[in-house]
Amino acid sequence: MMHLQLRTELDLETYLEPSLVACCDGSIHARNRAAHLALSPQTSISSLFDICSGRAEALRTYLIRCSGSRQPLIEKVSFNGEGGAFDYRCFGNALVPRRKSRPASLLLRLLPVRDARFAARAECMKRLRTERHWRLAMEQSAELRSDRLRLVEQYCFVAEALRVAEAQNRRLQDEIKHIRTDERERIAQDLHDHAGQEMALVLVELRRMRDAAHGPARARLNDLAVHVSEVGRKIHHAVVGGRPRIVEELGLSRAIEITAVWFTTDGRLDLSFKKKGVESDALPAALESALYRVAQEALTNALRHALGAQKIDIVLEFNCQSVSLTIADDGVGLSTEAQQQGELGSSGIGLRGMQQRMNGIGGTLQIGPRFGKGTIVTAVAPLRPEPQQSAPP
């Protein structure tokens, strides 16, 4: 027994945890230093039941169970120590089985009641779960981000398609305009080449007849010749009017200025031409054409109707939003009748034509008395055309 005790005492020190050799009846045979420190170090104890804090019956049953097993059995036990009762996880097994009247001797090892490995494992599982949640959240957010990118991409694609469609639309409109211009030129050419020639022949014949005639017939033939000549002039006007080549070649302001100079070459009228602002190279063709035609007609009217006029003032002003043209004379001014008609559409086609041309490019045309004396025509053309107004009736 002594021999066994010594041997187990030596062995016990190889365990780091409090370990003891006890009999199945609870009597303590040996304990290692750790057990000595943990279990009532001040007093010498002889039995486990002396330090057992409650559940003595459970301890007794456990010790009996251990006595039957060479392999350790685990049970929660509670022993008094320095700082009061303390719970342990006890690994107990039979060292020497019962012999005759001698009870079995047991090895009991006391470990913390909570197995640190389980706590670590639980911690690890918790961490893994958190990491999984985090990963999921990241995945979802990445998905959202890629959705957003896809939407932006699609938006850009649609915007680009729209841009292409708009460019195509613009090109088609230009093409239509060109086709229209070509057609107009063809008609003008026809008028000039056929009706114009015929008219000239008729006029020559009429004049010959007039010169040969006498009395009222001669006056009548003269009226007819004047009338036919006027019609011819109008046709010529229409033919020339369809093609402001001069604008294409010189630009709007130079074209208007040169035309005005032609109108006033006889020296009857003084001419003042002012250009304000910077003329863009890329003015819309329709705008240039409309303003040039307005200038032509206004100058024609001034020569024809502004009796007593001495001076014509032309101002062409460019700014970033619009181009405005004013042509003023100091003649008799509009008759009241013509003024009323000016609002609604005059008897002649000149004013109506000006109005239509300006409407056609989203601009405005006004004709009215000039401050002091005379008549002033104001045409304003927006550079970014407004939605088209319907032409006046």
Residues lying near Mg ion in the complex (CB under 5 A) are found at 301, 348, 350
Q: Which residue among 35, 255, 260, 351 contacts ligand ATP (CB under 6 A)?
A: 351
Shortest distance (Å) from residue 207 CB to ligand ATP: 23
Q: Which of 3, 14, 57, 70 binds another protein (CB under 8 A)?
A: 70
Exposure of 7 in the CB half-sphere (CA atoms within 13 A): 7
The 3-state DSSP class for residue 30 equals strand
One of 12, 20, 24, 199 touching another protein (CB under 8 A): 24
Q: Per rule CB under 8 A, is residue 118 in the interface with another protein?
A: yes
338: partner contacted, choices ligand ATP, Mg ion, another protein, none (Cβ within 5-8 A by kind): ligand ATP
Residues constituting the chain: 393
Which amino acid is located at 167 in the chain? A
Our CB check for another protein shows the closer of 117 and 245 to be 117
Q: Does 112 bind another protein (CB under 8 A)?
A: no
Q: Is the dihedral of CA 271, 274, 279, 283 positive or negative?
A: negative
Tell me if 9 sits within 8 A of 33, measured CB to CB: no
Q: Which of 29, 72, 87, 383 binds another protein (CB under 8 A)?
A: 72
Element at 161 (helix H, strand E): helix 116-190
Q: Which is nearer to ligand ATP, 4 or 303 (CB)?
A: 303
Binding mask 295-314 for ligand ATP (x = CB under 6 A): ------xx-xxx--------
Computed from CA positions of residues 28, 29, 34, 36, in that sequence, does the dihedral angle turn out positive or negative?
positive
User: In the complex with another protein, which residue's Cβ is closer, 120 or 165?
Assistant: 120
Q: Which of 8, 86, 239, 329 binds ligand ATP (CB under 6 A)?
A: 329
Least distance CB 349 / ligand ATP (angstroms): 5
Q: State how far Cα 379 lies from the chain centre.
A: 38
Return the half-sphere exposure (C-beta side, CA atoms, 13 A cut-off) of residue 244. Answer: 24
CA distances from residue 106 to 25, 52, 81, 86, 113 in whole angstroms, order as listed? 10, 16, 21, 21, 20
Residues in contact with ligand ATP by CB under 6 A are 301-302, 304-306, 329, 331-335, 338, 346, 348-351, 375
